[in-house]
A and B are shown apart, each in its own frame.
Chain A
């Protein structure tokens, strides 16, 4: 088994498509982190000077002076009392032209980190698929079985190789991402809520697992369907078209049974979604919101485990029993 695992890891390493996808796995977090760093960059002196210029230009416009006079004549109309400072309230300031989000670990966790894990999961799905799809397309899978006829071992070795690569690459990619975020936070001297890094660590760990399992799922599906195209079509179908079709047919409540929402529940320690009912129109005094439903981490994990188990069993049984090309 060890021999076979090493063979499959070597085969993975030698496949150019796999190498390209692995590089993409490292570029994705770097690119997203660079984007976040750019979008939340501190204001430079030039930014401040430009904002002050724009504010001054605006303040010099005649309608601003007219507006101030109207405010002073009738301050109630501007929502203030008789002692309101109309000049301060209406005159544009540089701050009005300096709008940019600041870097916030909680926000990164909810947005950029989720994007990183989602993209990594897609890349690993493609990696697991193309790795073994190539064996089927070229027919070399039967050649391999002429050397190792124990099909269960061959299946396991290939699957384990994909899983290991997924775990290592997922961990490395998320380490790079959060490492870079950590450097930014320290560099910009941004305050982080107590316990926030622990949440990050747990979410990242679940993200690594999701990324690795996505690759493994792609592998198992391709061993079942024996076609890269079929697996990718199903992946895309389930993730996009399937979700839209299910929601359109069964309504918002069907989110409970969608793969993406359950995956998100696992990643984000739960997922809340809104389901409208007549009760939503009634003001709720205390108690739980009848319109918001939650997929807990456990429920999401159970859902994913069942999906994975069904695919793995079908894939393994099919590979063991069906004739090879």
Chain B
């Protein structure tokens, strides 16, 4: 069944992307595969929204349906409050997108590729030059696309999205295959765009990327919505504190007498409690033990994600903290 045109309810004026009960099935010789299953997605206006899920979780399929490249089996979608794909032509001039890998004619130069796209929406060659400069391709714009590095191809794809001066930017795994410097460039660009008022939907399987760049996030697995909200809320306090004191044995005793559990963690103690941090400070103060450090422990996005997906395999993680 095709998607119904109208999306009911929701805060249409504040929600740039909205899906309700979105489903996509692929039929093949081995039967029917459900790529997206009853997905409700809401992306608020402004900032960078992460779209997180393991490889094969349905992120790209969802994006392709939103952009009219694939038809949903059922459910409804809206961009800027307009039902899509029915009214896609009316909203598409506000939407820039890079879906999967950049796709351009390899024998044309970067500039030629952009000129063709710009001309199709009535943009001028000065818009092309501006977009190329913005992504740092001005010097190499007259080289053939096939001679570009993967990073340059990604930047050209982003330049293409900027031609429309979009209010919504959808980037599907934009840092795939890039070297650390390239990843940093793209992330900085995404942050800048988000800060400039453009709503960015950043699809990624890299948790650190989403945590660093995004304000809010939607997590999906097996095509289903697992969690959605602000990143800071999802990685909220876990009910544990890390404390550093001069006399850990006295501190442990005082905390246990007050009904709290403390365990050694190197030179520090980890205190499990639902009570606020000030309670720990009060208990230790009354026992004459003074705090050097008290830090609420937060789950990182990886822990949240693994808890939600219960063992779904993640894609390759960048090593260490080197991309911060």
Residues of A near any B CB (own CB < 8 A): 3-4, 6-7, 10-11, 14-16, 134-135, 138-140, 142-150, 321, 323-324
Is B46 an interface residue, CB under 8 A from the partner? no
Check B119 against A10 for contact (C-beta < 8 Å).
Answer: yes
Cβ of A147 and Cβ of B89 under 8 Å apart? no
Chain A residues with CB under 8 Å of B122's CB are 3
Judging by beta carbons under 8 Å apart, are A14 and B108 in contact? yes
Contacts of A10 on B, CB cut-off 8 Å? 115-116, 119
When chains A and B are docked, how far (Å) is the Cα of A145 from the Cα of B71? 14
A6-B119, A10-B115, A147-B120 known, 15 other contacts, Cβ within 8 Å: A4-B120, A11-B116, A14-B112, A135-B105, A140-B105, A142-B69, A143-B102, A143-B103, A143-B104, A147-B121, A148-B92, A148-B121, A323-B64, A323-B69, A324-B70
Measured between C-beta atoms, what is the minimum distance from B24 to chain A in Å?
9
Supposing A3-B122, A15-B107, A140-B103 touch, asked if A146 and B97 sit within 8 A by C-beta, the answer is yes
A-B contact count (CB 8 A): 74
Q: In B66-92, which residues have CB < 8 Å from any A CB?
A: 67-71, 85, 88-89, 92
Contacts A4-B120, A147-B92, A321-B71 hold; do A16 and B160 have CB atoms under 8 A apart? no
B67 touches A140 (CB 8 A): no
Residues on B with C-beta less than 8 A from A144 are: 117, 120
A145 touches B69 (CB 8 A): yes
Residues of B within 8 A of A140 (CB): 103-105, 113
| In the complex, B99 has a CB within 8 A of chain A | yes
Known: A149-B68, A321-B71, A323-B69. A143 touches B117 (CB 8 A): yes
Chain A interface, >50% SS class: helix
Chain A nearest CB, measured from B113 CB (Å): 8
Binding site secondary structure of chain B = loop
**Nearest CB of B to A150, in Å:** 5
Q: Which residues of B contact A138 (CB under 8 A)?
A: 103-106
Using Cβ atoms and an 8 Å threshold, which residues of chain A touch B107? 15-16
B69 touches which one: A134, A150, A324 (CB < 8 A)? A324
Pair B97/A3 contact, Cβ less than 8 Å? no
Q: Which residues of A have CB within 8 Å of B108?
A: 14
- CB–CB A143/B120 < 8 A: no
B68 cross-chain contacts in A, Cβ below 8 A = 145, 149
Q: In the docked arrangement, what's the CA distance between A321 and B2, Å? A: 11
- In the complex, whether B164 has a CB less than 8 A from a CB of chain A is yes
Residue of B nearest to A320 (CB): B71
User: Please, which residues of chain B bring their CB within 8 A of the CB of A15?
Assistant: 105, 107
Among B105, B112, B122, B164, chain A packs the most CB atoms within 10 A around the CB of B105
| A12–chain B nearest beta-carbon distance, Å | 11
CA distance A108 to B85 in the complex (A): 55
Can you list 6 pairs linking A and B with CB atoms under 8 Å apart? A3-B120, A143-B160, A144-B117, A146-B97, A149-B85, A324-B64
Please determine whether B119 and A146 come into contact, CB atoms closer than 8 angstroms. Answer: no
> A1 CA to B96 CA in the complex, in Å?
21
* Closest beta carbon of chain A to B26's beta carbon, Å: 9
